[in-house]
Structures are given as structure tokens and as C-alpha cells.
Amino acid sequence: MNKWIRITAFSLLIWTCVPINAFVSAQSSYENLDQRLQSVEEYLQNIPDILQNFSMTLQDSMNSMNADIQNSIQQQVQYSSFRKVLLNPTSTAFQRIDTNAGVFLIAVQKTEEIDGGYRLHLSVGNPNIADYRDFKIRLSWGEEWNPNASISYQQWRNSLTTADYSFKGSLVKGVWSPVSVDVVPSTRRTLGVLECSMEVSSIEMSN
């Protein structure tokens, strides 16, 4: 009799425990599912902000790219002709420079350090068949243009120091004419760019 009582009690224990374990497992699965649904809902709620941030970042990148392209075009157009040329203070190589009266040649023969800046010894060559009289050289100098800088190309150009140098005398045909200009104030760093243009006052014709 006691044996049957023990078997019956054990059987009841098994039948009562199984539903409880199943209920606990189902409850845990429901909680996990609920947490996942909450995570999905939070993500969906954040989508407008994510899209807005992405749109702003994309717009900033496009604006930056457009500015770089525009600056590059401006720089290429600036030196597409020889009306303005870039001089190298450390090189004696000559180059062509176009003026209001024709084509000339210009070269830096020597760079000399002076108080507050540098003295450039230039040579101006006249390859034409006529003599010219009186001329003006305009120099602009400053730090080298950095495309990755926070300022635009035009703002950089506005930061350059510009000076005019007038000379009396003749530019004789087939001859190099030496001239000197003082680039003040300047340092090695602010001579990263040395831009030059030139104008001639008159032409001398033989009778």
C-alpha cells in the first residue's frame, strides 16, 4: 500500500512540475521577445534622426567637394595665360611673361636677405625687335596655397601682399636688363608663392 502511495505521489509531482517549467520557459521567451521588439521600436524611432544626420554629412561633403573644384578651377584659370607667372626665388631659370606690349622674359638671378625681407635681383629680357621704355613690375607674395585649408582660394589670394615697382629706362631689344626689388615684409615661409606681372609704358621706334 505504501508503495502505491509513493508511486502516485511521484507521478503527481512529475505532472505538476512539467507545466511549471514550461510556463517559466515561455515567460522567459516572451520577455526576450519583448526586449527585442522594444529595441526595434527604438531603432525605428531613431531612423529620422539618423537620416537627417546622414543628409547633413552628405551635404557638407558635397559643399566641400564643390568648393575644392571651384578653387582648383580658379587657380588653373589664374595661370592659364602668361600675364601672371610664378617666380621661384631659388631658381635662375627664365620664363615667358606676357605684357600689354608683347612677350618678355624674366628670371630671378639672386635672392639676398635684407632687414625685414629679401631683395630679388631680376633680369628682364626683351626678345622683340623693338625697344621699350619704362615698365612696372607687380609682385604678390605670401604662404603657399593649401587646398585643405579652411579658407577659400579667393580668401587666400586676398591675403597675399602686393607691391608695385616702377622703373625708368629702356628695355633694349635682344638684351637682358637687370633690376632689383625689395620684397618687404617677407620670410622664407611667406615667399612660398611669388607672383609676378608686368606692364610696359611705351615703345621706342627708330626713324
Distance CA 106, CA 139 (A): 13
Distance CA 124, CA 176 (A): 5
Mean of the pLDDT values across residues 143-155?
Answer: 86
> By C-alpha distance, which of 87, 97, 182, 157 is closest to 132?
97
**Which contiguous run of DSSP H or E holds residue 18?**
helix 2-78
Kindly tell me if the per-residue pLDDT of 55 is higher than 50: yes
Q: What is the CATH number of domain 85-204?
A: 2.60.40.1620
Give residue-wise pLDDT tens across range 182-200.
999 989 888 999 999 999 9
Answer yes or no: are the C-beta atoms of 87 and 194 closer than 8 Å.
yes
CB half-sphere exposure, 148, CA atoms < 13 A: 0
Answer yes or no: are the C-beta atoms of 205 and 99 closer than 8 Å.
no
Distance CA 191, CA 168 (A): 26
What phi and psi, each to the nearest 5 degrees, are found at residue 185?
Answer: -80, 150
Answer yes or no: are the C-beta atoms of 125 and 102 closer than 8 Å.
no
Residue 114 burial (C-beta neighbours within 10 Å; 0-12, 13-18, 19+): exposed
> By C-alpha distance, which of 99, 165, 161, 163 is closest to 136?
165
Give residue-wise pLDDT tens across range 13-32.
454 555 555 555 656 666 77
- Residue 34, C-alpha cell as written in the block: 519583448
Give residue-wise pLDDT tens across range 80-115.
578 999 999 999 999 999 999 999 999 999 999 999
Strand-pair partners of 187 = none
Distance CA 156, CA 140 (A): 12
